[in-house]
Structure 1
Amino acid sequence: MVLFLTVVSGIAWTAVYIDAIRIGFRDRSYAIPAAALGLNFAWESIYATRSAVTALSVQGVINIVWALADVVILYTFFRFGRSELPAWVTRKLFLGWALLLGVASFAVQLLFVAEFDWEAASRYSAFLQNLLMSGLFIAMFAARGGTRGQSLLIAVAKWIGTLAPTIVFGWFGNSPLVLGVGALCSIFDLVYIGLLWRARAVAPVRAALRS
């Protein structure tokens, strides 16, 4: 069951990244919130590298795939991200902010490793940044005033991709922290799915009223 849920999570999150790449190029935007993208790339780079130099596992291979996908998503962020910001934010300011965000993301991940062992750090940081991502997706929907740069596939796959390891590490692993944070992720994710579903249902009605 644990292996099955690990594979489910890997497939679901891979679907998130593939669709994020597709949506990013289609809408000329980025489909993963900036802070979450920074933390994800840092997490996956660190743990993919560790997996590559130690014994490779199923999760280790998945981490490597995710890290490679993140590189493409980062390209969409640097290519189109400036347009999402106010006009006074120059290209230099945007790049400076992105660099600071990246350094901070790697620092946070390494501080988790320093505070906990590698295994605990990977779990605690992953679930906390996942909760942050869940909230930032809702904020992205509100800031963009709709579904631009977003998709139901990303929302549903993120929910499933988080729920599976919540069961593995929270329920089977008997971790109240992981179980509680994972449950909060599900609540936020379901709210976000509801917002996207409602927006998609309302869009044809609004288009008909305009015509």
Structure 2
Amino acid sequence: MDLLLLLGMAFFWTITYLLIIYQGFKDRTCGMPLAALCANLTWELLFGFFMPFNPLQQIITIVWFALDIIILLQFLYYTRHEYSPKKIAVIVGSLLATAFLLHYGVSVEFHDPEGKYTAFGINLMMSILFIQMLFQKDLLGQSRFIAWAKMLGTLCASVLSYKLYPDSLLLMFMYVLIFLFDVGYILLVQSRSVKIVQRPGAKQGNSQQIIT
């Protein structure tokens, strides 16, 4: 059961990253909030290369790291006309350095070699920031498929973590909050994806539903 949950998490989150990359190229934007992206990258760097704790998880983490590098390159490419190279370097560099130090500090301070606290902290932050990004950029870089894959991947991770650490109140709070924000995100994306378009010349009340 634990292996199935781990593979489910790996599958759905890999699909999430691939869909974000695809949608980013399609919409010419970065489909992941920068703060979440930097937190993801540094977690994957730390626990994929410097502090691996499980051989299978290490492989999964390195795959995610490679996909997140592509998403970071999308951010750098599609924002190159919005900010100067120096400003981009300062912003991205400071976020990466801060996130890496926090991941390492929390892992040592809370005796957490698996990085579970920061992993779910990232997930909670990401769930909130994806909703914020939806209000800022509408559906640019986002889709209901991304929303569903993200929710299912994190749900597998939450169930697996609960089986391993059933007494952690902090983790339990994060499981529930992440799930609630993810469901809210799915509903918001779905409501923005379904548009009622009035046909030209049609009678009042005669409308066409378009799913994007």
Shorter chain as denominator, the TM-score bin is 0.7 to 0.9
Give the Å deviation of 1:118.
4.0
Conservation of the 8 A alpha-carbon contact between 1:29 and 1:80: yes
Deviation at 1:15, TM superposition (A): 0.4
**In the TM superposition, what is the alpha-carbon distance from 1:10 to its structure 2 partner?**
0.3
Q: How far off its partner does 1:151 sit?
A: 1.3
Paired residues for 1:96-115 under 5 Å: 96-115=90-109
How many pairs were matched up?
A: 201
Tell me the residue number matched to 1:57: 55
Residue in structure 2 matched with residue 32 of structure 1 by the alignment: 32
Instruction: Considering fraction of residues, name the structure with more strand.
Output: 2
Question: 1:170 deviation in Å?
Answer: 2.0
Q: Secondary structure at the match of 1:119?
A: coil
1:152 aligns with 2:150: no
Q: Which has the larger radius of gyration?
A: 2
Superposition map of 1:107-126 within 5 A: 107-119=101-113, 122-126=115-119
Q: Tell me the TM-score normalised to structure 1 length.
A: 0.87
Cα distance in 2, alignment partners of residues 63 and 114 from structure 1: 20
CA distance, structure 1, for counterparts of residue 197 and residue 88 of structure 2: 35
Residue 139 of structure 1: CA displacement? 0.2
State which of 56, 64, 67 in structure 1 corresponds to 2:65: 67
What stretches of structure 1 of length at least 5 have no aligned partner? none
* Aligned twin of 1:178: 171
- Separation in 2 of the partners of 1:56 and 1:80? 35
Deviation, structure 1 residue 181: 0.3
Unaligned runs of 5+ in 2: 203-212
Give 1:163's aligned residue: 155
TM-align CA RMSD: 2.2
Per-residue deviation, 1:50: 3.6
